[in-house]
Amino acid sequence: MTNKDSTESQGKFPRGSRSYIMSRIRGRDTKPEILVRRYLFSRGLRFRKNDPRYPGKPDVILPKYHVAIFVNGCFWHRHEGCRHATVPKTNVEFWTAKFLRNRARDAREEEELTTLGWHVIVVWECELTKSERAERLSRLYEEVTGESGTESDGESAPSPVGQAPFTIEHRSTLSKRLGDFSSSESLQTSHR
């Protein structure tokens, strides 16, 4: 773990300038990756990092849980709807093509990993700001281990909302029947 990577990118360069962009290129052990790894390690999880044997060399691989984690910069990997996913004002065509390639590559790597049986999780750089970090990391832990997993973020989780009316109706019908039953029973018992 070298701390050599300059992490002064947080505002040192004007956004969209060459230096700013270059500072955002994914390298080894950039600060967000270190945050994620340090946290997972502190929670007792063991992992491999940037293992070239896996598509996309995921930043974190947790063999025990079959989970691959990418810690992605929002600009470079085009975090959708994120304020950091800006398009530089010059060379727009170049950037557009570049971003398309990046997204296609990310999607392809994720698909390959999924096919190989890995669950892919993306942590975005903007989710690791001081105010968001704690929440995001504990949610990550849940996603990885399944512990206290509330599944609120599960893409394939069935919507509980759709079931609610049925359950309520069913319950009221049931209690009504029980009510009828118990009253008829009490009638019977009073007869005997």
Residues in the site for Zn ion, rule: CB under 5 A? 74, 79, 82, 84, 124, 126
Compute the least distance from the CB of residue 114 to Zn ion, in Å: 22
Minimum CB–partner distance for residue 169 and Zn ion (Å) = 43
Q: Based on CB atoms, which residue is closest to Zn ion, 81 or 158? A: 81
Residue 79 or 136 having the CB closest to Zn ion: 79
Sign of CA dihedral 85, 90, 91, 93: positive
**Least distance (Å) between residue 117 CB and Zn ion:** 28
Q: Tell me whether residue 37 or residue 79 sits nearer to Zn ion (CB atom).
A: 79
Query: Which residue, 16 or 149, has its beta carbon nearer to Zn ion?
Result: 16
CB of 75 to Zn ion, least distance (A): 8
Nearer to Zn ion, 50 or 86 (CB): 86
Element (DSSP H or E) covering residue 145: helix 130-145
Query: Tokens 């398009």 map to which residue?
Result: 87
Least Å distance, CB 178 to Zn ion, is 53
Closest approach, Cβ 81 to Zn ion, in A, equals 8
* Amino acid present at 20: Y
**69: three-class secondary structure by DSSP:** strand
Q: Concatenated DSSP letters for 82-123?
A: -TT----SSSHHHHHHHHHHHHHHHHHHHHHHHHTTPEEEEE
Residue nearer to Zn ion on the CB measure, 21 or 112: 21
Distances (CA, A) of 101 to 3, 6, 64, 81: 30, 26, 32, 18
Q: Please work out, in degrees rounded to the nearest 5, the angle formed at the alpha carbon of residue 42 by the alpha carbons of 115 and 60.
A: 25
- Whole-number CA gyration radius for the chain: 25
